[in-house]
Amino acid sequence: MNKKGRVIQSTGKWYKVSTDGTVTDCRLPGRFRLDKKEVTNPVAVGDYVLYEIGEDGSGQINEILPRDNYVPRQATHGRRGEQILVANVDRAWVVQSVEQPKLNTGFIDRFLVTCEAYEVPAGIVINKTDLAKGNQMEWVNKIGELYRGLGYPVFMTSIKDEESYKRLRRDLSEITSVFIGPSGVGKTSLLNAMEPGLSLRTGEISSYSQKGKHTTTFARLVPLSNDGYIVDTPGIRELGLVQIEKSELSLYFPEMVEPRQHCKFYNCTHYHEPKCGVVEAYEEGKIHPERYGSYLNMLEKLDY
């Protein structure tokens, strides 16, 4: 007899599925991987599944229920297709740090484009504000103002500033969220600060590369005491766009949606074509140079 549950952790071969607080280790039959050759992981944390329990107490997933949404990225290590980072979330947060590692607006923009394309509400967390030096926070605050102006919620946090992460925690109540970002930006440390009883393992920064070392190995769905859930994910260095055409890329930049209606050519790439509404808006200062630079960078990579 099938039971309905939610996948709360994935190790690649085994899946922990929760039903009313009871967790069962489940296998996934090989046919699912054959059916979804273009996806490296047919089941993701956050998925709802139907499963049955065998005589040995382990389960077998028999059906993956339809998703409300999901966040993908291009498969890495030379593999073809896409990897699903998480499924069925109310908001996805891209987490960056001021330093160690340095804030990367290009990563933020690729993340936001992915969320816009796959209809996932997105937000931004800029962590480790206590590491800002000199007038660095002035620049960080301007970055925050830029994204807030585009309609994205932005939180500045530090585990040394309790009020900063309490504000974020209030936004996580009664919904399912996910933290996505590179290793070392402090995703797990933030979770430990917001929910002290978790005691999740955290890593350290490599003194050589100033990048984080992988500590969270598998994605996992963590319950919060404010009736919310957060998915803690392994750090990712790359966030390749999935199934986005060059002609539609500008649709996922909110500030380009209106200007692109004034382009002379319907298939305008907003790069070299004459009478382009987006280029005109950029030249008039209505589109931030860093955002337009990110757009051109993504456009170039879509060629490959």
pLDDT at 107: 96
Q: Is the pLDDT of residue 210 over 50?
A: no
* pLDDT tens digit sequence for 60-101: 999 999 999 999 998 876 677 899 999 999 999 999 999 999
pLDDT at 274: 96
Q: Find tokens 């966030």 and name the residue.
A: 239
Report the percentage of the chain scoring pLDDT > 70.
Answer: 91
Specify the range with the lowest mean pLDDT, choosing from 189-193, 213-217, 252-256, 269-273. Answer: 213-217
pLDDT at 217: 66
pLDDT band for position 35 (cuts 50, 70, 90) = low
* pLDDT tens digit sequence for 240-266: 899 999 999 999 999 999 999 999 999
Q: Is the pLDDT of residue 273 over 50?
A: yes
Instruction: Give the Å distances, CA to CA, from 32 to 16, 60, 64, 85, 122.
Output: 17, 12, 9, 17, 29
Of the candidates 35, 18, 157, the one whose C-alpha atom is nearest the C-alpha of residue 96 is 157
Helix, strand, coil share (%) of the chain residues, nearest 5:
30, 25, 45
pLDDT band for position 47 (cuts 50, 70, 90) = very high
As a whole number, the mean pLDDT across the chain is: 91
What domains lie within the chain, and their CATH numbers? 3-66 (2.40.50.140), 72-78+84-232 (3.40.50.300), 246-302 (1.10.40.50)
pLDDT at 30: 85
Of the candidates 193, 191, 237, 187, the one whose C-alpha atom is nearest the C-alpha of residue 211 is 237
d(CA 17, CA 220): 11
Which is higher by pLDDT, 296 or 208? Answer: 296
pLDDT at 202: 57
pLDDT at 80: 75
Q: Which amino acid, 46? A: G
Q: What is the pTM of this model?
A: 0.91
Task: Provide φ and ψ at 147, rounded to 5°.
Answer: -75, -35
Between CA 268 and CA 271, with CA 269 as vertex, the angle to 5 degrees is 115
Contacts of 222 (CB under 8 A, 6+ apart): 191, 195, 198, 200, 229, 230, 231, 232
Q: Is the pLDDT of residue 36 over 70?
A: no
